Amino acid sequence: MAEHDSKYTLEIKDLEVQFKTVDGVVKAVNGIDLAIEKGKTLGLVGETGAGKTTTALSILRLVPDPPGKITGGTITLEGKDLFSYSEKEMETIRGSQVSMIFQDPMTSLNPVMTVGDQIAEVIQLHEKIDPKEALEKAKAMLEMVGIPGNRGTEYPHQFSGGMKQRVIIAMALVCNPHLLIADEPTTALDVTIQAQVLDLMQKLREKYGTSMLMITHDLGIVAEVCDNVSIMYAGRIVEHGTLEDIFNSTSHPYTEGLFGSLPNIENRNEQLKPIPGLMPDPTDLPPGCAFHPRCKYCKDICKSRVPAVTKLSDTHLVACLAYEEGTGVTLGGGDNE
């Protein structure tokens, strides 16, 4: 077991998160398993509302409570159960062992603090260091993300979106965390800046040997930065595998749908094949396979039986009835009922 522990930076088992609202219980995360090997990057892919951000916030134990509650499962960081920590202990872990980069750099920095102070604050929280040294270190970190150190005395509104995201990256990595959670770090940025920011993250991550959870809905980013991929739908992992597994032997109809929604670079006239319908209402998830109302291979059994996880290979897992024996569900052809 000890050996097993040391292999992974993060292990999530059977995590369940629910939000109690006036409209009912929102089942945001419904028993997911994730594992990130040391120094590796896991892509967590899914549509808006699939529960990706909630999963990420659970790792920091920052799910807004109320209304949110982690109702089941375990999260293990570096072999230690995160739920066994007190809130005070969690504060020492956030920012030093686990850091997070948020989606919108425009709103993620405190507008009334200089960026230098904001970076120095993390250093001072987690390292025994006097304020002057912390500021010096913050300056050095700014230089490292390609911002002149003397701009540390400026306020967030004096920076562009791409630069703000660099500041946030600097803030997240300055204490050498074991795990970096990046929640759609490039979604709010100009396309021209996206590649720059991704490159920077990759470079720094490799330099520090940080493991990363990359949350995105962009399969292009996944192909560029991830080692493993988990596809999330309606709070469940529907397919998991290495980059090759997912891209070359796509197994789940939802993953197939995601690829179908991408423009084909070789044939630009080709029509996109979007997945019909919308994400189900998380207060009222469909019975059986949550994807069945949108699945073109759906059979009656899909409407009542929850698919189990089937192992296609050592690395490739899928949760679809078509891969379970004796269900009579077959993929291909597409007899949409």
Site string (34-73) toward other proteins, x via CB under 8 A: --------------------------x-x-----------
Structure tokens at 260: 């179908």
Stretch that binds other proteins, among 91-99, 226-234, 264-272, 296-304 (CB under 8 A): 91-99
Q: Which of 34, 75, 82, 100 binds other proteins (CB under 8 A)?
A: 100
Residue 263 found at the interface with other proteins (CB under 8 A): no
Torsion region of 231: left, alpha or beta (phi above 0 gives left; psi -120 to 50 gives alpha): beta
Residue written as token pair 């300056």: 139
Give the C-alpha separation, 260 to 227, whole Å: 22
The alpha helices in 129-242, defined as continuous H runs, are: 131-144, 161-173, 191-208, 219-225
Minimum Å gap between C-beta 107 and other proteins is 4
Residue 104 found at the interface with other proteins (CB under 8 A): yes
CB-wise, 100 or 238, nearer to other proteins?
100
Nearest-CA neighbor of 34 among 239, 285, 280? 239
Biggest alpha carbon–alpha carbon distance for the chain: 68
**How many Cβ atoms sit within 10 Å of the Cβ of residue 33?**
16
Nearest-CA neighbor of 19 among 53, 81, 70? 70
Q: Which of 35, 125, 129, 195 binds other proteins (CB under 8 A)?
A: 125
Give the C-alpha separation, 312 to 318, whole Å: 7
Residue 91 found at the interface with other proteins (CB under 8 A): yes
Q: Which of 17, 170, 171, 246 binds other proteins (CB under 8 A)?
A: 171
Residue 95 found at the interface with other proteins (CB under 8 A): yes
CB-wise, 164 or 240, nearer to other proteins?
164
Stretch that binds other proteins, among 5-13, 103-111, 189-197, 316-324 (CB under 8 A): 103-111
In degrees, rounded to 5, the angle at the alpha carbon of residue 305 between the alpha carbons of residues 302 and 307 is: 85
Contact footprint for other proteins (CB under 8 A): 60, 62, 87-88, 91-96, 99-100, 102, 104, 107-113, 121-122, 125-126, 155, 157-158, 168, 171
